[in-house]
C-alpha cells in the first residue's frame, strides 16, 4: 500500500514529498520511504523503531529511534493517517504506554503533594515545636524586640504600645509581676517574661516572641473582675511559656512555602494563596489557644481565680463589638462555648489558697491607665469609631 | 529567484478553550501538578497549527521537563523565601529597603528567566525536522535589560526605542535555525517615528492642560471668549482618546516593524499587523469579559441568597459559626473563585492570546524563503537548570 506523505530527514531543512509503504511484519519489517519526484528510496525505518510524536489533530507524525532526532514522516491527510495507524498497530500500543506513564507521573506527584499537605497540616505543630527548640532564646528575644517596634508602628492609630504606668515599682505593676512569677513557677521559660498594660484602645491582649506580652487598655476597660484579668494574663503567659509566637511565625512561613508549591505562585500574593494559608494557620493556632487555656487552668489551681472569667470576658467583647465579630470570621481562637466547657472542668477556688490579686491591687490595676495620660483617653473616643 | 512564502494559523479558539478548561479541571484533583501538562498541550496546539511555507512547527518539549524545571526554580527561591521570612522580622526601615532590594533582584532575575525560557522553547521547536536554538548569555541579557530599564525610567521613557532595539538585537542575533544565524537589522529608528509622535502628542497635551490651569490664564482666556472648563475638558478628552487608540497603533507598528527587521541570511521576515484588527480584538474581548463577569456576579448572588443570607437571618448563629460549621460553603466560595480566575484566563488566551498569534502569522511573509532549504541541523535541547524560573516568576508567555 502506498501512503502519500512528507519526509524530513532531520539533517537538512529540505522537505520531500514521499510515498511510504509498509513492508513485512512488525518484528522484522520496514517503513520504506520513497521520494516521489526522484523516485528512489530515501530511507527505510524498522517498524519496531517507529513511534508517534504529537502534532496537529488528525495528522500522524512518525519518528524513528534509528533515524536522526528531527527526522519525521508526516501524513497530514486524515484518511491516509488513519490507514497508516491501522497498518502499524505498535503506534497505538506506544501511545497507550506513553499515556499510562504520564498518568503514573501525574498520580505520583499529586500524591507526593497531597502527602506533603497532610504531613504539613498534622505535622507542623510538631515541627514548629522542634524548630523552635533550635532557636536560641537570645535570638528570639531580639526578634521579639523588632516585632514590638513593628507592632507599635502598625497600631499607632489606636495608641501604639505606650505603657500606661512606666514605673515598674508601682503597686499594679508589682502585682502583675508577682502574678507572672507565680504563674511561671515550675515551668521553664527561657527568657525574662514581662506583661505590660499599654494605652491602646483596641480590646486585645497578645504575646509576642521573646517573652513580651501586652494587655491593652481597650480590654482592661471591659474587664470587670480580677478573675477575668487573671484569666487573660495566665493565658498569655501560657503562650509565652509554649513559645507560641515563635512557633506561629515558623508555621506561617512554612504554610506560605507550601501554598506556593501547590499553586506555583511563590510570591503567595494571590487570593487563593492568602485564604488557603490563613485557613491552615487558623487551625494550627486554635490548638495553641487550647494549650494556653489549659495552662491558665493550671495556674488557677495555684493562684486562686475563677478560670471561667476568661470566657466571660470573651463573650462580653464579642457581644458588643461588631468589628470583633467580623475579625472572628477567620478566627484564630476556638469557640467561646467550647472553651468555657473546658475551663469549667475544675473549680480551683476549692484547692488554691492564695488569691490571684487582692481587692486593692485589682482596683489599682483597673485604674492604671486612667490615672495617668488622660490625653490618651480623649483620643480613644475618636479611634473607636 | 525571489520566492515569497506565507505563514498561516489553523487553530480554532474552541479547541484551545477545550485544552485549557480540561487542564484547569484536572488541576483540582492533582493539586496543581497538571498545570505543566496544560502548558505543554497549549504549546503543542500553537506550534502544530502554525504553518510556515507549507510545513508546521513541532513542539518537542514535555510536561516532565517543565516539572523538573520548576523544582530547579524552587531551589533558587528557597533561600530567597528564607530571606523574606528573616526580613519580616526586622525593623520597618529594614523592611522597606529589604523589599525594594528584593523587588529589584526579582526584576533582574526575570530578565534571566525570560532569556532561558526563550532558549527552552527555541531548542524544542522543530521546523522541517531542524531545530532552532539560542546562543548568548542569560546573565548578559538580564544585565542589559536591567540597565536599559533604568535608563528608560531615568529619561522618562525617551530612551525606549533604544532599549527595544538593543534587546531585540541581542535576542535575535543569538537566535539560530540549524546552522543559520538570525540577525536583527533594525535600530532605534525602526520604531522612533510612531513612538515619539505619540509620546510628544501626549506630553504636549498634558503640558497644555497644566498651562491653562494656571490662575492668570483664566482672564486671558475669558478675554478671548473661551471658557477654561470647556477647553480643559476638550483637551483632557483628546488626551484620553489619543492614549487609548495609540495603544493599538503602537502595538501594531512595533510588532510589524520590529519583526520585519528580522532575517536569517538572505531570507527576510516581513510582518504587517493592522492597528484596526487589534482594536476589534480588544473590543470583542471587552464585551466577552463583561458577559463573563456579569454571569459570575449572578451566580455569586444566588449563592449568597441561598446559603449565607438565611444563616444571617437566624440571629442565634454567630458570624464566626457560619464559617466554622459551614466549611463546605467556604469550599464552594473557593471553587467559585478558582472558576472565575480560570474563566478569565481562558477568555484572555482564546481571544487576545490566540488572536495576536494569528494576526502575526497571517500578516507574515518570508522573502527569499528558498534560501532556507540548504540549512543543516545543529544544536540540541537545552538543559533544564534554570528553565522553570520563568514559569515560577510568571514571565513565560507562550
Domains of chain A in sequence order: 3-87 (2.30.29), 114-383 (no CATH)
Nearest CA in chain B to A246: B89
Inter-CA distances, A228 with A220, A223, B16, B140, Å: 10, 6, 63, 65
- pLDDT of res. B381: 65
Does B90 sit within 8 Å of A146, measured CB to CB?
A: yes
List CB contacts (< 8 A) between A147 and chain B: 89
Q: What is the pLDDT of residues A193-211, one digit of tens each?
A: 888 888 888 777 878 888 8
Give the closest of A8, A56, A271 to B129, CB-based: A8
Q: Whose grid coordinates read 443570607?
A: B309
Q: At what angle do helices A271-302 and A89-134 cross, to 10 degrees?
A: 30
Please provide the average confidence, as pLDDT, over all residues in chain A: 77
Q: How far is B377 from chain A (nearest CA, A)?
A: 5
A303-304 and A212-216 beta bridge pairing: unpaired
Interface test with A, best of B81, B320, B381, B389 (most A CBs within 10 A): B320
Q: What is the pLDDT of residues A19-40, one digit of tens each?
A: 999 888 888 889 899 998 888 8
- pLDDT of res. A375: 40
- A378 pLDDT band, cuts 50/70/90, is very low
Q: Whose grid coordinates read 491591687?
A: A361
- B12 — contact with chain A (CB < 8 Å)? no
- B127 — contact with chain A (CB < 8 Å)? yes
Q: What is the pLDDT along chain B (398 residues), one digit of tens a residue?
A: 457 899 999 999 999 999 999 999 998 888 888 889 999 999 999 999 999 999 999 999 888 888 888 877 777 777 777 777 677 666 677 778 888 888 898 889 889 888 988 988 998 999 999 999 998 899 999 999 999 999 999 999 999 999 999 999 999 999 999 989 999 999 999 999 999 999 999 999 999 888 888 777 777 777 777 777 888 888 999 999 999 999 999 999 999 999 999 999 899 999 999 999 999 999 999 999 999 999 988 887 877 676 666 655 555 444 444 444 455 666 777 788 888 888 999 999 999 999 999 999 999 999 998 888 888 888 666 666 555 566 555 444 44
A189 or A346, greater pLDDT:
A189
Q: How far is A73 from chain B (nearest CA, A)?
A: 10
Does A54 sit within 8 Å of B44, measured CB to CB?
A: yes
Cβ-Cβ contacts under 8 Å for A126 (sequence gap 6 or more): none
Between CA A203 and CA A216 the distance in angstroms is: 6
- Phi then psi for residue B309, to 5 deg, are -60, -45
List CB contacts (< 8 A) between A249 and chain B: 85, 89
Between CA B164 and CA B188 the distance in angstroms is: 7
Query: What is the Rg, in whole angstroms, of the alpha carbon atoms belonging to chain A?
Result: 36
Does B130 sit within 8 Å of A8, measured CB to CB?
A: yes
Between CA A68 and CA B50 the distance in angstroms is: 23
Between CA A195 and CA A205 the distance in angstroms is: 10
Between CA B128 and CA B131 the distance in angstroms is: 8
> Which grid cell is B312?
444571617
- B184 — contact with chain A (CB < 8 Å)? no
Q: What SS3 class is residue B189?
A: helix
Does B60 sit within 8 Å of A15, measured CB to CB?
A: no
- B24 — contact with chain A (CB < 8 Å)? no
Interface of B with A in 80-99 (CB under 8 A): 81, 85, 89-92, 95
Does B31 sit within 8 Å of A61, measured CB to CB?
A: no
Percent helix, strand and coil across chain B, each rounded to 5? 70, 10, 20
pLDDT of A71 > 90? The answer is yes
Does B376 sit within 8 Å of A11, measured CB to CB?
A: yes
> Which grid cell is A220?
482592661
List CB contacts (< 8 A) between A37 and chain B: none
Interface of B with A in 274-333 (CB under 8 A): 318-321, 323-324, 330
Q: How far is B357 from chain A (nearest CA, A)?
A: 17
Q: How far is A149 from chain B (nearest CA, A)?
A: 7
- B35 — contact with chain A (CB < 8 Å)? yes
CA dihedral B321, B323, B325, B328 (to 10 degrees): 160
Cβ-Cβ contacts under 8 Å for A137 (sequence gap 6 or more): A190, A191, A210
Q: Whose grid coordinates read 533604568?
A: B150
B175-177 and B130-134 beta bridge pairing: antiparallel
Rounded average pLDDT over A132-154: 80
Residues in chain A: 385
Q: How far is A42 from chain B (nearest CA, A)?
A: 15
- B397 — contact with chain A (CB < 8 Å)? no
List CB contacts (< 8 A) between B323 and chain A: 329-331
Helices (H), chain A: 78-87, 89-134, 137-154, 171-184, 217-222, 226-242, 244-263, 271-302, 309-320, 322-327, 336-343, 359-366, 368-371, 374-383
A351 or B55, greater pLDDT:
B55
Q: What is the pLDDT of residues A281-331, one digit of tens each?
A: 666 677 777 788 888 888 877 777 777 777 777 777 665 544 444 444 444
Does B89 sit within 8 Å of A329, measured CB to CB?
A: no
Does A54 sit within 8 Å of B59, measured CB to CB?
A: yes
- A377 pLDDT band, cuts 50/70/90, is very low
- pLDDT of res. A333: 60
- pLDDT of res. B384: 60
- pLDDT of res. A382: 37
Question: Could you report the predicted ipTM of this complex, rounded to two decimals?
Answer: 0.80
pLDDT of A380 > 60? The answer is no
Give the closest of B92, B177, B337 to A149, CB-based: B92
The per-residue DSSP string of A139-175 comes to HHHHHHHHHHHHHHHHTGGGTTT-BS---TTSHHHHH
Cβ-Cβ contacts under 8 Å for B329 (sequence gap 6 or more): B307, B308, B322, B323
Burial (Cβ within 10 Å: 0-12, 13-18, ≥19) of residue A167: exposed
Other Cβ atoms less than 10 A from the Cβ of A35: the count is 15
Does A265 sit within 8 Å of B394, measured CB to CB?
A: yes
Does B77 sit within 8 Å of A13, measured CB to CB?
A: no
Between CA A132 and CA A246 the distance in angstroms is: 7
- pLDDT of res. A269: 44
Does A262 sit within 8 Å of B32, measured CB to CB?
A: yes
Residue B132: name the closest of B173, B170, B180 by CA: B180
Q: How far is B215 from chain A (nearest CA, A)?
A: 38
List CB contacts (< 8 A) between A260 and chain B: 77, 81
Q: How far is A176 from chain B (nearest CA, A)?
A: 28
Residue A192: name the closest of A176, A208, A212 by CA: A212
Cβ-Cβ contacts under 8 Å for B223 (sequence gap 6 or more): none
- pLDDT of res. B273: 94
- pLDDT of res. A156: 80
- pLDDT of res. B363: 94
Q: How far is A150 from chain B (nearest CA, A)?
A: 6
- pLDDT of res. B150: 96
Other Cβ atoms less than 10 A from the Cβ of A134: the count is 7
Q: How far is B183 from chain A (nearest CA, A)?
A: 19
- pLDDT of res. A329: 40
Amino acid at each position: 500500500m502506498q501512503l502519500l506523505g512528507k519526509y524530513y530527514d532531520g539533517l537538512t531543512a529540505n522537505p520531500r514529498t514521499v510515498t511510504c509503504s509498509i513492508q513485512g511484519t512488525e518484528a522484522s519489517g520496514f517503513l520504506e520511504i520513497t521520494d516521489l519526484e526522484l523516485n528512489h528510496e530515501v530511507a527505510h525505518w524498522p517498524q519496531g523503531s517507529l513511534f508517534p510524536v504529537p502534532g496537529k489533530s488528525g495528522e500522524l507524525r512518525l519518528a524513528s529511534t534509528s533515524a536522526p532526532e528531527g527526522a519525521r514522516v508526516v501524513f497530514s491527510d486524515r484518511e491516509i493517517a488513519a490507514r497508516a495507524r491501522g497498518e502499524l498497530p505498535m503506534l497505538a500500543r506506544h501511545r497507550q504506554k506513553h499515556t499510562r506513564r504520564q498518568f503514573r507521573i501525574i498520580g505520583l506527584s499529586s500524591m507526593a503533594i497531597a502527602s506533603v499537605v497532610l504531613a504539613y497540616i498534622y505535622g507542623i505543630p510538631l515541627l514548629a515545636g522542634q524548630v523552635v527548640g533550635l532557636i536560641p532564646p537570645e535570638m528570639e528575644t531580639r526578634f521579639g524586640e523588632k516585632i514590638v517596634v513593628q507592632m507599635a508602628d502598625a497600631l499607632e492609630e489606636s495608641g501604639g504600645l505606650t505603657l500606661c504606668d512606666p514605673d515598674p515599682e508601682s503597686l499594679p505593676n508589682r502585682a502583675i509581676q508577682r502574678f507572672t512569677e507565680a504563674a511561671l513557677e515550675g515551668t521553664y521559660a527561657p527568657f525574662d517574661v514581662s506583661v505590660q498594660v499599654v494605652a491602646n484602645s483596641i480590646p486585645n491582649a497578645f504575646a509576642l516572641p521573646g517573652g513580651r506580652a501586652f494587655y491593652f487598655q481597650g480590654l482592661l476597660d471591659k474587664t470587670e473582675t480580677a478573675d477575668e484579668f487573671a484569666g487573660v494574663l495566665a493565658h498569655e503567659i501560657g503562650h509565652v511559656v509554649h513559645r507560641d509566637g515563635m512557633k506561629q511565625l515558623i508555621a506561617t512561613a512554612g504554610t506560605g512555602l507550601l501554598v506556593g508549591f501547590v499553586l506555583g505562585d511563590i510570591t503567595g500574593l494571590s487570593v487563593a494563596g492568602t485564604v488557603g494559608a490563613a485557613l491552615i494557620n487558623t487551625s494550627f493556632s486554635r490548638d495553641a489557644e487550647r494549650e494556653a487555656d489549659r495552662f491558665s487552668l493550671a495556674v488557677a489551681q495555684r493562684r486562686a481565680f475563677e478560670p471561667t472569667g476568661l470566657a466571660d470576658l470573651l463573650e462580653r467583647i464579642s457581644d458588643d463589638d461588631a468589628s470583633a465579630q467580623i475579625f472572628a470570621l477567620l478566627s484564630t481562637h476556638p469557640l467561646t462555648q467550647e472553651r468555657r466547657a473546658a475551663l469549667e472542668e475544675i473549680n480551683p477556688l476549692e484547692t488554691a489558697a492564695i488569691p490571684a490579686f487582692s481587692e486593692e491591687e485589682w482596683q489599682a490595676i483597673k485604674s492604671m491607665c486612667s490615672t495617668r495620660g488622660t490625653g490618651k483617653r480623649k483620643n480613644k473616643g475618636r479611634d473607636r469609631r | 529567484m525571489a520566492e515569497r512564502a506565507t505563514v498561516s494559523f489553523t487553530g480554532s479558539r474552541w479547541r484551545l478553550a477545550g485544552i485549557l478548561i480540561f487542564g484547569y479541571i484536572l488541576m483540582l484533583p492533582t493539586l496543581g501538578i497538571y498545570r505543566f501538562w496544560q502548558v505543554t498541550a497549549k504549546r503543542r496546539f500553537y506550534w502544530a497549527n502554525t504553518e510556515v511555507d507549507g510545513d508546521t512547527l513541532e513542539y518537542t518539549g514535555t510536561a516532565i521537563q517543565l516539572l523538573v524545571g520548576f523544582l530547579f526554580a524552587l531551589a533558587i527561591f528557597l533561600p530567597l523565601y528564607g530571606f523574606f521570612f528573616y526580613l519580616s522580622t526586622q525593623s520597618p526601615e529594614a523592611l522597606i529597603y529589604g523589599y525594594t532590594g528584593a523587588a529589584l533582584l526579582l526584576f533582574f532575575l526575570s530578565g534571566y528567566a525570560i532569556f532561558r525560557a526563550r532558549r527552552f522553547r527555541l531548542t524544542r521547536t522543530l521546523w522541517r525536522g531542524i531545530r532552532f536554538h539560542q546562543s548568548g548569555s542569560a546573565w548578559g541579557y538580564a544585565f542589559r535589560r536591567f540597565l536599559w530599564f533604568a535608563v528608560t525610567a531615568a529619561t522618562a521613557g525617551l530612551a525606549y526605542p533604544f532599549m527595544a532595539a538593543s534587546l531585540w538585537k541581542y535576542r535575535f542575533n543569538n537566535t539560530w535555525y540549524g546552522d543559520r544565524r538570525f540577525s536583527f537589522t533594525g535600530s532605534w529608528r525602526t520604531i522612533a517615528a510612531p513612538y515619539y509622535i505619540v509620546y510628544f502628542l501626549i506630553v504636549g497635551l498634558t503640558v497644555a492642560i497644566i498651562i491653562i490651569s494656571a490662575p492668570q490664564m483664566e482672564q486671558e482666556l475669558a478675554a478671548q471668549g473661551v471658557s477654561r472648563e470647556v477647553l480643559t475638558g476638550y483637551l483632557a478628552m483628546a488626551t484620553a482618546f489619543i492614549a487609548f487608540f495609540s495603544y493599538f497603533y503602537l502595538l501594531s507598528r512595533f510588532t510589524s516593524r520590529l519583526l520585519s527587521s528580522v532575517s536569517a541570511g538572505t531570507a527576510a521576515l516581513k510582518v504587517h499587523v493592522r492597528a484596526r484588527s487589534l482594536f476589534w480584538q480588544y473590543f470583542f474581548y471587552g464585551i466577552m469579559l463583561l458577559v463573563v463577569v456579569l454571569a459570575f456576579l449572578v451566580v455569586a448572588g444566588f449563592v449568597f441568597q441561598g446559603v449565607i443570607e438565611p444563616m444571617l437571618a437566624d440571629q442565634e448563629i454567630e458570624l464566626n459559626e457560619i464559617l466554622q460549621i459551614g466549611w463546605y460553603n467556604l469550599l464552594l466560595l473557593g471553587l467559585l473563585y478558582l472558576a472565575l480566575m480560570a474563566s478569565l484566563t481562558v477568555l484572555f488566551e482564546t481571544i487576545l492570546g490566540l488572536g495576536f498569534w494569528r494576526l502575526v502569522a497571517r500578516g507574515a511573509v518570508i522573502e527569499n524563503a528558498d534560501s532556507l532549504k540548504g540549512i543543516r541541523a545543529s544544536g540540541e535541547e537545552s538543559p533544564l537548570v534554570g528553565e522553570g524560573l520563568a514559569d515560577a516568576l510568571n514571565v513565560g508567555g507562550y
